[in-house]
Chain A
Amino acid sequence: TQLSLYTSPSLPNITLGLPAS
């Protein structure tokens, strides 16, 4: 049987794509 593997969890960059505050 083919084991499906989840990718490692990660937390995003909070303000990616937002203008500098």
Chain B
Amino acid sequence: DSLSIHQLSAQGELDQLIACLQKGEQLLNRPDERGFTPLMWAAAFGEIAAVRYLLEKGADPHVLAKERESALSLASNGGFKDIVTMLLDKGVDINVYDWNGGTPLLYAVRGNHVKCAEALLARGADITMEADSGYTPMDLAVALGYKKVQQVIEAHILKLLQR
């Protein structure tokens, strides 16, 4: 039995991933049945070496899955700041939104991932974008009682006002 390229990416099985891609380049951006590419699986499960390797091989970081999920949102949701930074360095849309209006910043806040929220805010994530339910990142931080994330957003707003 062999694992699919999506499973190899998610499990960070780099040697097998390299071998698998050597057999078939076209697998690099192969979406699964919900539209998730190997890069998205690696980003969702925090496999930084796999993310780095797939990007080096030319994996497309801009691909959206069927419900507009993105590698950046998956990494932000998981709190994987280094992967968030890698994807932002590839110029992905920092304000991409999906099926419930979720943006990378909203997922970072929802997961109480302070470092991810800081990284996204530092790179200009839009703090006014609301989820379909009308919650902004600040609303969400307050509603969930995530004080540190709330402070990070407040500090960012102050910085914007001072400019």
With contacts A8-B34, A11-B77, A15-B135 known, what are 7 further pairs, Cβ within 8 A? A4-B11, A8-B36, A9-B10, A9-B45, A11-B99, A21-B133, A21-B135
Interface size on B, residues (CB 8 A): 35
Chain B residues closer than 8 Å to A15, beta-carbon distance: 100, 131, 133, 135, 140, 143
Q: Point out residues on A near B: beta carbons under 8 Å.
A: 3-6, 8-15, 18-21
Q: Count the A-B residue pairs with Cβ separation under 8 angstroms: how many? A: 69
Q: Point out residues on B near A: beta carbons under 8 Å.
A: 1, 3, 6-7, 10-11, 32, 34, 36, 40-41, 44-45, 69, 73-74, 77, 98-102, 106-107, 110, 130-135, 139-140, 143-144
B32 pairs with A8, CB closer than 8 A: yes
A14 pairs with B7, CB closer than 8 A: no
- List the B residue with the shortest CB-CB distance to A7: B10
